[in-house]
Amino acid sequence: EDYNRKFELANQYFDAGKYSQSIALYEQVYQRFPKQSEGEVSYFRIGKAYYMSNDYYMGGYFLGQFTARFPFSAKVEEATFLSAMCSVHQSPSYSLDQTDTELAINSLQQFIDRFPNSDLVDTSNVIMDRLRFKLETKSFEAVKLYARTMNYRAAVTSAEIFISNYPVSTFKEEASYLLVNNSYLLYKNSIESKKLERTAQTLERYRTFVTEFPTSKYVKSLKSIADEMEKQLVILENLEAEK
């Protein structure tokens, strides 16, 4: 059993992109020299080979383990980054469970904290923004769903939560529009005793909207709502006063 030969062969396979063959050999080499430099290289390359062959589950395992087993290795930076990238690749579409996305954001953040001078910090930041945008989209889609299914109160509440969670979101204009619009629809479908309060709320939300988005394409349609609300407010306040 010539392990040196195996190691060389494994390196050749790895360089040629034949990852599954190289994994099999590297595993034998690592078993033989778990503490030597051949073992270190093998272990790293097993993880990287899985990563390159799109097996991010196994890749994430080996690369994550690598940083724990060889904390002083020169490859730790790359392994940490690639292990985070495995989580990134496993993050599914925004409409599914985002546990992996949150994991990926955390791993990238840990990478940046640990290697603040790495060349990969910029890349990591870009990827993290993309991942956060997923969570943002997921949240906004829920607002849209409640609006579409005519659950006005749910749309109002979820839009408010969305705006407070993502104050600089690209969806903010649309979310604010949904907030005003559903606030109005909620008023429309209210019992008499709640109308006054909801009229006032709708007007207040409308004013916030026009202040923040004076040139929005929604201003025109919301303006007519606001006009109606102004009139209603006067009528309702008079009614209230009579009581």
Distances (CA, A) of 46 to 7, 14, 32, 67: 12, 9, 15, 13
Q: Which residues contact 165 (CB under 8 A, 6 or more apart)?
A: 139
Choosing from 153, 190, 200, 233, the residue that interacts with another protein (CB under 8 A) is 153
89 interacts with another protein by CB under 8 A? no
184 interacts with another protein by CB under 8 A? no
Binding residues for another protein restricted to 43-82, rule: CB under 8 A: 71-72
145 interacts with another protein by CB under 8 A? yes
Distances (CA, A) of 165 to 139, 175, 179: 9, 12, 15
Interface stretch with another protein, choices 95-103, 105-113, 194-202, 231-239 (CB under 8 A) = 95-103
Choosing from 9, 76, 161, 219, the residue that interacts with another protein (CB under 8 A) is 161
Q: Helix, strand, or coil here: 72? A: coil
CA distance 238 to 243: 9
Nearest distance from C-beta of residue 184 to another protein, angstroms: 15
CA distance 12 to 35: 22
Q: Which residues contact 85 (CB under 8 A, 6 or more apart)?
A: 51, 56, 127
Nearest distance from C-beta of residue 139 to another protein, angstroms: 8
Interface stretch with another protein, choices 20-28, 53-61, 148-156, 207-215 (CB under 8 A) = 148-156
Binding residues for another protein restricted to 98-127, rule: CB under 8 A: 99
Contact residues toward another protein (CB under 8 A) are 34-35, 71-72, 92-93, 95-97, 99, 138, 141-142, 145-146, 148-151, 153-154, 156-158, 161
